[in-house]
Amino acid sequence: MEHIVIIGNGIAGITCARHIRKNSDAKITVISAESDYFFSRTALMYVYMGHMKWNHLKPYEDWFWKKNRIELKKTWVDSIDFEEKTLQFSSEETMSYDKLVLATGSVYNKFGWKGQDLNGVQGLVSKQDLELLEENTQNCKKAVIIGGGLIGIELAEMLKTRNIEVTFLIREEAFWHNVLPIQDAKMISKHIKSHGVDLREKTELDKIIGDENGSVKSIITKLGEEIECQLVGLCTGVRPNIDFLKKSALETDKGILVNEFLQTNIKDVYAIGDCVQLREPLPHRKPIEAVWYAGRMMGETLAQTLTGNAMKYKPGNWFNSAKFFDIEYQTYGNVSAKPGGNEMHFHWQHKDNTKAITIAFDANSNKFLGINTFGIRMRHVIFDQWLNENRKIDHVLANLKQANFDPEFYTRYEKDIFKSFKENLKKS
C-alpha cells in the first residue's frame, strides 16, 4: 500500500489528507509537533480573549482521524533523506515514505534587533506562541507591538481585553498601507485609535532593552524615544518555516520552490501552504501567499494529483478576509495600495467611519479590477463571476445589491454608493 506522509497539520496539510482519503485507500500519516489534532489557527485569538475554549478550535472530533484512517504522529522532523525516502525524528525514530508532502507553514520574522531574544519578546503564529503569551502577560501592564499587519491588530485586540496598555508601532503613514489604499488605511488607523490603542505611524523599532533578569523592560524607537513595556509583540510578517531543509538537495529560495503541480525538484516530494514559493506565479498573484484560503486550495489541488488526477494549481482571482476590531474586511480581485498606470479608485465611506468600499477599475476601459469592502459583507461568488466576465464598473455598482451578504433588516447602502459614484464622475 502506498504511504503518503504529510509534514504539518495546518489547513493545507489536513485538507490534502482529507481529500486523498476521499479518493484513495493509501496509507496517510500526518506529522506535527505543534498539537495533537488539527485546529483553526485563525481562531487562536478567541481562546486568549475568553470567547472560546481550546477544544472549540478543533473542527473535527478526535475520533474522526481513526475512522478515516489518517494516522497522526506528534513529533519533530529533524532531517529528511530524500534519496532513501526516510524521515529522521527528534526522538531518533525513522519513518519511510513513498510520497512526501511538505506543509510546514510559517514562522514570525525577526530582523536582528538588539534584544529580540529577551524574555517577553515574541510573535503570534503557533499554539506554543499563544501559551507563551499567557505566561508573558500574567503581570503585564504595558505592551509594544511592532509591525502593522493582520497579526499585529489581532494581538492588539487580544491585549486590550486584558486591560493591557498597548502602543503600536508601524512604518507606514497609516495602518497596512503597504496593502490598503491610503483612504482605507487611514480609516482603519482611526478605528484602531478609537479602541484606546496608541498607534504610532511612521515609527520604527531601533532596539529592545532588557533588565538584570533578561526580561524586556522597554524599547527604543529610531526617533530615540524610550517606551516602557513588559511585552514586545513582533508582528512584522511571517516567513516560510524551512530552516531544517536549507542544506538539503531540495531547491529553496525564500520558500520551497514548486511548479504549477506543486512539485519540488525532487521526485515524489511536494509542498503546499505557507512554506511554498511558486516558480511561476499567475499574473497579479505573489509567489508566496501565506493565507488560509491559499493553503486550503493547494491542499485540495495536490490531493487530486496524488490520487491519479494530475491537476495544476489555479487559485483564480485573489480574495481574502480579516477583522480589524469591529470592522470586517473582504477583498476580491486587485486593489493596489498605490495605484499606477490606468488603475483608478472610487472610494465611498459612511459617516460613522466603520463602513466603506474602494473599487478599482481601468480608467480607459472601465473594466472592474477589484474591491475592498469594510463593514459590509459581500458574496465571494458574485465578485468572482464579475471579475471572470470582465464586467465594467457601471455594471458592478448598478448590481451591487446582488453581492450584499448582510442579513435581512440590515441597513443597505447601495443607493448612497451609486449616487456618490455618479457625483464623482460629474466632478471629474
The per-residue pLDDT for 426 is: 63
The per-residue pLDDT for 428 is: 57
Percent of the chain clearing pLDDT 90 (strictly above)? 91
| Mean of per-residue pLDDT scores for the chain | 95
Strand partners, 75: none
CA nearest neighbour of 12 among 33, 30, 36: 30
pLDDT at residue 406 is higher than 90: no
**Which residue's C-alpha cell is 506522509?**
5
Q: What is the mean pLDDT of residues 206-219?
A: 97
Using CA atoms, how far apart are residues 198 and 135, in angstroms rounded to an integer?
A: 23
Report residue 144 as a C-alpha cell.
509594544
pLDDT at residue 245 is higher than 90: yes
Using CA atoms, how far apart are residues 148 and 279, in angstroms rounded to an integer?
A: 28
Q: Give the SS3 label for residue 69.
A: coil
**Residue 180 C-alpha from the chain's centroid:** 15
Q: What is the pLDDT of residues 307-366, one digit of tens each?
A: 999 999 999 999 999 999 999 999 999 999 999 899 999 999 999 999 999 999 999 999
The per-residue pLDDT for 365 is: 96
pLDDT at residue 101 is higher than 90: yes
Q: With bands split at pLDDT 50, 70 and 90, how would you rate the model's confidence at 413?
A: confident
Using CA atoms, how far apart are residues 239 and 33, in angstroms rounded to an integer?
A: 19
Q: What is the pLDDT of residues 127-143, one digit of tens each?
A: 999 999 999 999 999 99
The per-residue pLDDT for 415 is: 85
What residue ranges define each of the domains in the chain, with the CATH number in brackets?
3-107+239-306 (3.50.50.60), 121-236 (3.50.50.60), 319-426 (3.30.390.30)
Contact of 112 with 24, CB cutoff 8 Å: no
Q: With bands split at pLDDT 50, 70 and 90, how would you rate the model's confidence at 394?
A: very high
The per-residue pLDDT for 232 is: 98
Using CA atoms, how far apart are residues 418 and 397, in angstroms rounded to an integer?
A: 6
Q: What is the mean pLDDT of residues 162-185?
A: 97
DSSP letter at 42 equals G
Question: Who's near 276: CB < 8 A, 6+ residues apart?
Answer: 240, 255, 256, 258, 262, 288, 298
Q: What is the pLDDT of residues 48-90, one digit of tens each?
A: 999 999 999 999 999 999 999 999 999 999 999 999 999 999 9
pLDDT at residue 408 is higher than 80: no
Contact of 275 with 102, CB cutoff 8 Å: yes
Q: With bands split at pLDDT 50, 70 and 90, how would you rate the model's confidence at 409?
A: low
The per-residue pLDDT for 412 is: 81
The per-residue pLDDT for 427 is: 64
